Structure 1
Amino acid sequence: MSTGVRRRMGVEERRQQLIGVALDLFSHRSPDEVSIDEIAAAAGISRPLVYHYFPGKLSLYEAALQRASDDLAGRFVVPEEGSLGGRLLRVMGRFFDFVDDHGPGFAALMRGGPAVGSSTTNALVDGVRQAAYLQILSHMKVEQPPARLELMIRSWISLVESTALIWLDGRRIPRTDLERQLVHDFGALAAVSAAYDDELATLLRESLRNEPGDGPFTDLVVRLIALAS
């Protein structure tokens, strides 16, 4: 007959458990609304024991954000196969999977949450943006981007972030439509930037060489032609 005695966790195992519990709670409610008592109860331990592993809520919050930011940065990594438009569409699907699953946590990560102004939080957000930027360059097979390409990609990443935050407030546009629209935004921004830069125009032609007739960038061209007619 089972005695019901719980297995004792090691220090790092317990820390990871608490981070997971906190991240799950932060994913459903704003971190400001989640108390240490709730985290302790969800983990099945006492409040003082939480403080044994983390000196305060802020340190636990930052650890949860670290895990979330690592996950979010990884959403921009997809196999470098197929067309650029197709890959970006898969990236947006993976990105919005995260946004869908971790709405309040995503908002807290992008806006700073209770750690607003924290150098740790700012560094995490900047790390996600930099990882996304480097992955987009990798998808375009560009190692030394011209200035306008860097500006365009970083502007697009900011657009994706702000669009996701606005979308979370009501989700009034179907998610799949929004994902495709953001890929179209990438193509439109790239085309406008390329019109001012011959080097970027050459890079863009190379990146779009394998775009299929039913790909998102071809769809964008068709929609623009229809709009102008």
Structure 2
Amino acid sequence: MSETKTALVTGANKGIGYEIAAGLGALGYRVGVGARDAARLETAVEKLRAAGVEAFGVPLDVTDDRSVADAAGTLDRLDILVNNAGISGPMGPGWEQDPTALDLDVVRTVVETNVIGVIRVTNAMLPLLRRSASPRIVNVSSSVASLTRQADPAIAIGPIMAAYSPSKSFLNAVTVHYARQFAGTDILINAVCPGLVATDFTGFLGRTPQEGAAVAIRYATLPDGGPTGTFAEDGGVVPW
């Protein structure tokens, strides 16, 4: 009998991350719930276990080298990594981030989590992923990362978010370069957009977290030979 495959989802104690963990668990994966808040982590793991998921907690702060290294050291195998943890940074009136008035420390903090944190976690987990027969990496991005959409006044969506949106564009670019690095290997890496989802991140506007999680789950469980280096949402490919 083959061993149960293991997934790790960062920022999985609530919202989209929790539902990604729940969805992968329902498919039979053993799921590591990555989160930095110990109490919320324990609550999420207990809730997942009550739903029949083989879940375990992984204390993980994606902005901290030691925390990430320690998290990698607790795992005996890894088949799926979902880099879901992310922050928007403070918003101004109208839920906007005015580029002409941005606090540079806000930009640094957002990039540290949304981009550098993904690189930090991915590289720490690579030795485990390389031992998997079908390793998958999913980076949770956003449609507001699309330069094509944001630059076209006719289709630009959402408010101006001059820290958050560029951080996700940066993440998309990093995803492409990982895909190039992994070309010819079994590692598939893609960026996905869950859409506007009703969580505390959006002021609880949008569709359900379960609906938002679906695209990440789909790309986390791609068959061998599936797409890599893409940016996708429910309706298909998102323009860069």
Structure 2 length as normaliser, TM-score?
A: 0.29
TM-score (norm 1): 0.30
